[in-house]
Structure 1
Amino acid sequence: MDSWTFDGDDQENEDREEGEEGDWFWGGRTATVFLIDAAPDMFEAPEQKEEEEEDTPFICSVKAAHATLMRKVISNDQDLSAVVLFNTRETSNPLDFPGIYVLQELERSGAEKILDLEKLMKISKAKFSQDYGQSTSASIHDALRVCQSVFTKCKSRLSGMSILLFTCQDDPHAGEDQRKRQARSKARDLREAGIILEVLHLGKAFDINKFYKELVIPENDDGEDEDLLSRDHRTLADPTERLSELMDRVRRLEHKQRTTGRVAFTLAPGVELSVSVYTSIRKMYKPSKVNLWKNTNEDVRRMKKEYLEETGELLMPSDYVKYQVYGGKKIKFTLDEVKNMQRIYNTGIQLLGFKPIDSIKPYHYIKPANFLYPDEKSIQGSTKLFAALLERCLARKMAAIVRLIARQGSSVSLAALVPQAEELDNRKTQVVAPGFIACHLPFADDLRNIEQQNRTRATSDQVDAAKKVLKKLHFLYSPENFDNPDLQTHWENVKALALNRKQVDPVDDFTLPNYDIMEKKAGPLITQFKNLVYPPSYDANQPIKRPAASSTSAPKKPKLDPSAIDVAAEAKAGRADKLTVDVLKRWLQGRGVQVTGRKKAQLVQDVMDEVGA
């Protein structure tokens, strides 16, 4: 079932907690087709280096598809994926084109699809040739048409469609100009239909300029996007022959970037461009538990209704008001008044000025930053103006100070737009996208003055010893090197149950310190620091004793005897709900009322019935 999306999938928790309304829109699903070449060359293992066993290009492609399905199960199980093989002897596709085999239809990631890919990952060349066969006569045009038909058959609304083509043949239609023209024409049709084609070229001697460049970058567009924000570096990256590089490249291509909002960026009166706002960092939580009906395994729907206690009348949302205490009084607001109070400025970004980048300090951090990228669909020419602003900010090392309101109802935020240049790895694969990092800045009301009392200052020898330890144990931190062990353990347990595995794969906890390496690097320095800071009798393994409580602390309230409480008088005064469950039960049992299995609300009602209140 398709889902509704509330102002994009990457909202910030802080904004949601403010009770802001926002806009709902129909999001749809993301669909990906893995188009894998099954030609004989795909089963030829690359040259082994240093006795390392390398997988064949075909096995690497299947592993990449398998890893993507595993990620989708965790990140977004509503996304759809399919696997199509071409250059096979057997034929299985809705258009009945020769040499094309639809291995998996466009469906949600499930345990059966994952297990089928695991079997394919272990298949030998002889077994594959026996079951599916191999050839080199399949047409790229026909393969792309089959992929398009797979999208067309899907009845769900799709928010994004992409084809990831895995091959090691750089010129499949050598000397066949007619087939090349057909493939180029079909690639243009896919772009017009909103289907993105990406080529994952494998093999060391692969030359994308022979054939596939014309599919990825059409002739009429070549050279128009040669600016700071061009995507050519990603699609025309060097070929890869390593599984790790292929996995990383597929992860970047198949990931759907969802915006938090699309807003206008006003540089000056009458000068505007449109940008998309992305959430760069957000905390990942375990999925919430869902109640199922044990007989049919269907989701249990909950309905909550509230009634007025005095009359039993059903309460509607319009019957509620919000209030805030001011001067000892409850100041009431209607829901419309609350919305109007939050709309100080219209949605958008307003340029206020520029500051040097080094003036933005780490202690200015108040919440995760956003990423800004131009949105050419809303305002034409936004990409060129955005690129010009980014280039000059990088050249002068300046950050733009702006007023940022990402969407309707969001709170006003001051932000510093720190420019970020594009970075490529040694294979011309984009690892850092060009754009602005919107670092949210604190207001004067957010700053606090911290007064420290009874401070003990370290001596110069202790400071020097600490510097030596820090210098030896220093390393470059990257969040990509540390997985959350709690989340990983949870998903490994779920995966073992879903795939009927008897054993759970162990999870490597990279947050644990490696004491052996630490001792090897800075063992004597740590000992020296400990001798300078702690007394000789200090033992780190001994628990620290807490000081005894001060005699001036307030005495505890004495417990009242339940038999001394006049329950009837308390009930007539309307304070029966203030009594404990034990008091209520004791009083009711003395009058012969059954109290087994009854909750406090029921006990209070029984007391009220007994006293006739």
Structure 2
Amino acid sequence: MAEGYTVNQSFDSDDEDNTHFQSSGRDACIIVIDCSSSMFTEFERDEKTLSSFTICLNVFERLMLNKIINNNKDLIGAILYNTKNSPDPGDNMHNDNSLVVPKNCAVLMPLNQIEPENIRFIKNLLASDDFLDFDNKFGHSTDAKIADVLWLCSSIFSSCGKQIKVPQIMWFTDQDSPHQVGSSDHQQSFQRAKDLQQFQLDLQFYPMKDSFDGGLFYKELLCQILGIEMEEFEFPTTQLDEKLLIQRMFRRAHNKRAIAHLLVEISSNAKFGVGIYSLTRTSQIPKSTVISRHSRELIETKRSYKYGVIPEDAVDVDNLHYDLDYTEKLEPGMMVKYQQCGGEKIKFTHLEAYEIKQVMDPKIKILGFKPSSVLSDYHHIKGSYFIYPNDNKIKHSATLFRALWERCLVDDKVIICIFTMRLKSYPRLVALVPQEQKVGIDSEVLRYEGFRLDFIPFAGDIRDLSEVLTGKNLIDSNTTTVMKKMLSRLRLHYAPTMFNNPTVTNIYRKIEESYFEDENKTEDDIFEDPMVPNLDAQDNRIEEHIQCLSEQLGRLEDEDVKAAKRKNTDIIEGGPRKKITADDINIELVLEKCKEGRVKELTVSILKSYLELKGVSGLSKLTKSQLIENVLKLSKS
């Protein structure tokens, strides 16, 4: 397991068919932060002075910024424990005055919908040297009861007044033994944890000390709340690196929803259900909203079609302007679609177009098994999916799925299938590749056990480049050796988390800066595009090979310059273009492609050369489809 078990760890925990959680409602999250004196002890990390409490506030701020952009309807709040005082969070926080806060606990931020004022409050708290007089306002202690903290969380969830889909708690502490074993406080904590099982909590625990021993208290407490056996539970590891901690939090908070539920068909009588999961998701740029310049109201755009009768004396039909008084609204049933073929427009109704696109019902149809060696790197033409069994479709699907998965692993086989994602989608050729679970250094699950769904090309998608790659290798072995050394010096240890999308990141940073007007911005906060390489560092790495490479490639550079000068001279002086002969093009290849119906595989240059050889003129303005039509006509004649 990654960083400890959570309810969301199950792949189907948030699907519509799951009965444990409500299918509607809002996500609600409470941040629980220990405020004992040890959490404020400063330490040096990456040339910065930090404390565990500062890291918790930074994580809280990033979480709110993420939620206010992605889903501002979510609820979020924060409570502190091991405090000396319990002050009111403030009038601007919409505090619930009916809530009784236990001793040595405090509500830093009530559970409410995220507002910019909440984020500004946390920013001001971080910018202050004394956390806005934290010692006098809240203070520190070690007398808080864990049972009271759990009761406060459940009371906040119950009294928020909103329908909650998944109640979530993120717990930060460095105290591994808050109560003495066998004491009344210790027993009350476990009794309260047992009562919380009815809430189906998603509790994420983050120890904030390197020597944290979860076996003293919290491992048993978490197992009691989550309702799992201690032997099956792996206690989360300590992570004090702020960036890695934020990545861990977002990764665990991400809902693993299936993008589709399909049946895998082995035969007409043997099927099992699976869920399809996307391994990657493109970061979206926020959509712009059109508003009125004067009233600042939202502007809604609606589109409708009208038709009119073309006058008999009309000359320029393409640029004809209709009089709106003599037009009528075009209803959807009156519209048709057409496909131009052979100079004719073949018309289809909406129903006919739908039936043409619906080649197969949504499913995964197994064609057969092949050794895994048949797949090459260039066969991966699209990002992969991940499939996992779903017993809600067909009972005992997991049993059949696992038997198939284990057999493919033992025999080193992949499954070739036809994959239709949903209605009106075209069938794709895919390979189901079995994979085993892979765990990282920090007990992070890097890869789950199951089948990876790889998209592979059809026969017509693979191009034959033998006619293009006919150039001779003019590079000798010495130059190749030098280039290998250069590439080894520029080698990069890549990880998917190294690069954020610079466009999306910059846009959100600009939005954040324009709203909050951060006056405490430092040079470290200036956005740097991670995709821009450090040219000075690269030059220093390959400096010793540059001179040798220049000596090896000097002759080729001179020949390229001469060739470019000859080409420019021909263009300027209007020199005659070399006439294409039958030796310059493989006519048999073109005719063979025409017979097989695979003319689309030929490049535009080959098509033009063939037509020019046949005496066809005016080829510069023709598209590839028009060139293909001309080639097919000539091949039939």
- Output the TM-score relative to the length of structure 1: 0.73
Sequence identity, in percent? 26
CA distance in 2, matches of 1:139, 1:377: 42
- Give yes or no for the alignment of 1:102 onto 2:104: no
Answer yes or no: is the 8 Å Cα contact 1:43–1:125 preserved in 2.
no
User: Structure 2 matches for 1:47-126, cutoff 5 A?
Assistant: 55-88=50-83, 89-90=85-86, 94-99=98-103, 100-122=105-127, 124=130
The 3-state SS of whatever aligns with 2:306 is: coil
Asked whether the 8 Å contact 2:111–2:156 carries over to 1, the reply is: yes
Matches within 5 A, 1:352-431: 352-383=367-398, 385-431=400-446
Where in structure 2 are the equivalents of 1:86-485 lying within 5 Å?
86-88=81-83, 89-90=85-86, 94-99=98-103, 100-122=105-127, 124=130, 127-152=133-158, 160-174=166-180, 175-176=183-184, 177-191=186-200, 195-218=201-224, 222=228, 232-233=233-234, 236-267=235-266, 270-310=269-309, 311-383=326-398, 385-450=400-465, 451-452=467-468, 455-461=471-477, 462-485=479-502
| Cα deviation, residue 478, structure 1 | 2.6
Question: Take 2:221 and 2:420, find their aligned partners in 1: how far apart are those partners?
Answer: 39
Rate the CA distance shift 1:44–1:28 in 2: closer, same or farther, 3 A.
Answer: same
State the alpha-carbon separation in 2 of the partners of residues 147 and 495 from structure 1: 30
State the Cα distance separating 1:135 from its structure 2 match.
4.2
Give the C-alpha shift of residue 137 in structure 1. Answer: 4.5
Mapped contact 2:205–2:236 kept (Cα < 8 A): no
Separation in 1, partners of 2:270, 2:141: 57
Shift, 1:255, TM fit: 2.2
CA distance in 1, matches of 2:147, 2:396: 34
Deviation at 1:540, TM superposition (A): 12
Distance 1:113 1:386, change over 3 A: farther
Structure 1 residue 536: Cα displacement: 8.0
Report the alpha carbon displacement of residue 499 of structure 1 after superposing the two structures with TM.
0.9
Gaps of 5+ in 1: 1-7, 9-25, 227-231, 554-613
Kindly report which structure 2 residues correspond to 1:27-42, keeping only aligned pairs within 5 A, or say none. 29-42=26-39
Using the TM superposition, give the Cα deviation of residue 537 of structure 1 relative to its aligned residue in structure 2, in angstroms.
6.8
In the superposition, relative to structure 1, how do residues 77 and 526 fare at CA in structure 2: closer, same or farther (>3 Å)?
Answer: farther
Q: Higher helix proportion, which one?
A: 2
Q: Tell me how far 1:440 sits from its aligned partner.
A: 0.6
| DSSP-derived class of the 1:517 partner | helix
Determine if contact 2:87/2:137 at 8 Å carries over to the other structure.
no
* Paired AA for residue 34 in structure 2: D
- 2:512 is equivalent to residue 495 of structure 1: yes
- CA-CA distance at 1:301 after TM superposition: 1.6
CA distance in 2: counterparts of 1:319 and 1:158, whole angstroms: 46
| 3-state SS, counterpart of residue 372 of structure 1 | strand
Deviation at 1:221, TM superposition (A): 5.7
**8 A contact 2:305–2:329 mirrored in 1:** yes
Question: Alpha carbons of 1:316 and 1:207: their partners in 2 closer, same or farther (altered >3 Å)?
Answer: farther
Match of 2:598 in 1: none
3-state SS of paired residue (2:555) = coil
Output the amino acid matched with 1:101: A
CA change 1:180–1:160 in 2 (3 A) is: closer
Q: Name the CA shift for 1:120/1:274 in 2 (closer, same or farther; >3 Å).
A: farther
Contact 1:390–1:419 (8 Å) recurs in 2: yes
Aligned-residue offset at 1:90? 0.8
CA contact (8 A) 2:290 2:298 kept: yes
Change (3 A) 1:278 1:290: same
Taking the aligned partners of 1:354 and 1:141, their CA distance within structure 2 comes to: 56
Q: Secondary structure at the match of 1:535?
A: helix
Asked whether the equivalents of residues 262 and 406 of structure 1 are also in contact (C-alpha less than 8 Å), the reply is no
Measure the CA separation in 1 of the matches of 2:561 and 2:517. 43
> Equivalents in 1 of 2:335, 2:165: separation in Å?
37
Deviations 1:174-213 (A, max 9, x none): 323541333322331121xxx3112112212322233333
Alpha-carbon distance between aligned partners in 2 of 1:463 and 1:62, rounded to the nearest angstrom: 53
Partner of 1:588: none
Q: What secondary structure is seen at the aligned counterpart in 1 of 2:277?
A: strand
Kept in 2, the 8 Å contact 1:348–1:404? The answer is yes
Letter in 1 for 2:500: D
Partners in 2 of 1:157 and 1:309 — Cα distance? Answer: 52
Q: Which moved more, 1:491-500 or 1:331-340?
A: 331-340
Structure 1 Cα separation of the partners of residues 33 and 216 of structure 2: 19
Q: 1:453 to 1:372 in 2, by over 3 A?
A: closer
**1:455 is matched by which residue type in structure 2?**
G
What 5-or-longer segments of structure 2 have no aligned partner? Answer: 1-11, 13-22, 89-95, 310-325, 578-637
Whole-angstrom CA distance in 2 between matches of 1:296 and 1:318: 38
Partners of 1:350 and 1:524 in 2: CA distance: 56
AA partner of residue 532 (structure 2): L
**Matching residue within 497, 503, 509 for 1:486:** 503
Distance 1:441 1:214 in 2: 47
Q: What is the alpha-carbon distance in structure 2 between the residues aligned to residue 155 and residue 330 of structure 1?
A: 60
| 1:524 partner amino acid | E
Confirm or deny: 8 A CA contact 1:144 1:186 kept in the other structure.
Answer: no
**Would you say the 8 A contact 1:237–1:429 is kept in 2?**
no
Q: Aligned partners of 2:360, 2:502: CA distance in 1, in Å?
A: 42
* Mapped partners of 2:168, 2:514: distance in 1: 31
Instruction: State the TM-score, normalizing by the size of structure 2.
Output: 0.71
- What whole-Å deviation, never above 9, does each CA across 1:320-350 have from its counterpart, x for those lacking one? 2222223433222222333333333222223
Kindly state the Cα deviation for residue 442 of structure 1 after the two structures are TM-superposed: 0.9
Q: Which residue of 2 aligns with 1:594?
A: none
For residues 537 and 414 of structure 2, the distance between their equivalents in structure 1, rounded to whole angstroms, comes to 40
Bigger CA drift: 149-158 or 35-44? Answer: 149-158
Task: Give the direction of change, closer, same or farther, for the CA distance of 1:529–1:492 in structure 2 (3 Å limit).
Answer: same
Residues in 1 aligned to 2:408 and 2:196: alpha-carbon distance in whole angstroms: 37
Question: What whole-Å deviation, never above 9, does each CA across 1:562-586 have from its counterpart, x for those lacking one?
Answer: xxxxxxxxxxxxxxxxxxxxxxxxx
Mapped contact 1:184–1:214 kept (Cα < 8 A): no
Matches within 5 A, 1:581-600: none
CA distance in structure 2 between the aligned counterparts of 1:145 and 1:219, rounded to whole angstroms: 13
**How far apart are 1:414 and its partner, in Å?**
1.7
Given that residues 187 and 215 in structure 1 are in contact (C-alpha distance below 8 angstroms), is that contact kept between their aligned partners in structure 2?
Answer: no
SS at match of 1:419: strand
